[in-house]
Amino acid sequence: MVASLVINRMKVSVSYWYNKGVSLADAALHEKALYCFDKAIALDENDAQVWFKRGISQFHIKLLGAAAISFGKVLSFEPNNPAALNNLGVTYTQMQEFDKAEACFRRAAELAKGNPRIAVNQKISMNMKTTSKQ
C-alpha cells in the first residue's frame, strides 16, 4: 500500500516536462530542454505544442533534420499552423532546401496575412538561394 502511494506521487505529467523544457530553452539550455521535451513526448506523443518547442530546441543546437521532422509532426496535427510552417521554412533554408522553404513560407503567409516575420524569413531564404547559385 505504501509503495503504491509513493509510485503515484512520483508520476510526472507532460506539462511538468514541457514547462521544465520551456524554462531551460528560455535560458538557452537547448540540449537540456530537448531532454525534457523528449520525456514529455514519451508520455504523450500527440502533443503538438511539445513537438513545436522540441523543434525549436533542435534547430538551436543545429539538429536541422530532426527539427524539420518535429515541425512536420506539428503540421500533422495542425496543418494550418503558420508558426510551424514558418519555422519549418527557416529550417529548410538552413538546410539549403530552398524550394521546400519557399512552399512553407508561401503557405504560412496565406494563413497569417501580414505577418512581418514570415515575410522577412522568406526574403532571407530567397537571398540565400540567389547567393548560393552564384
- Residues 13-23 pLDDT 10s: 999 999 999 99
Distance of CA 112 to the CA centre of its chain: 18
For residue 130, give its domain range. Answer: 80-134
Are 130 and 96 contained in the same domain?
yes
Distance of CA 25 to the CA centre of its chain: 12
Res. 133: pLDDT tops 80: no
Are 105 and 130 contained in the same domain?
yes
Res. 99: pLDDT tops 50: yes
Confirm whether 89 is domain-assigned.
yes
- Residues 28-60 pLDDT 10s: 999 999 999 999 999 999 999 999 999 999 999
Q: What is the number of structural domains in the chain?
A: 2
Distance in angstroms (rounded) separating the CA atoms of residues 120 and 132: 18
**Cell, residue 33:** 530542454
Confirm whether 3 is domain-assigned.
no
Binning pLDDT at 50, 70 and 90, where does residue 4 land? very low
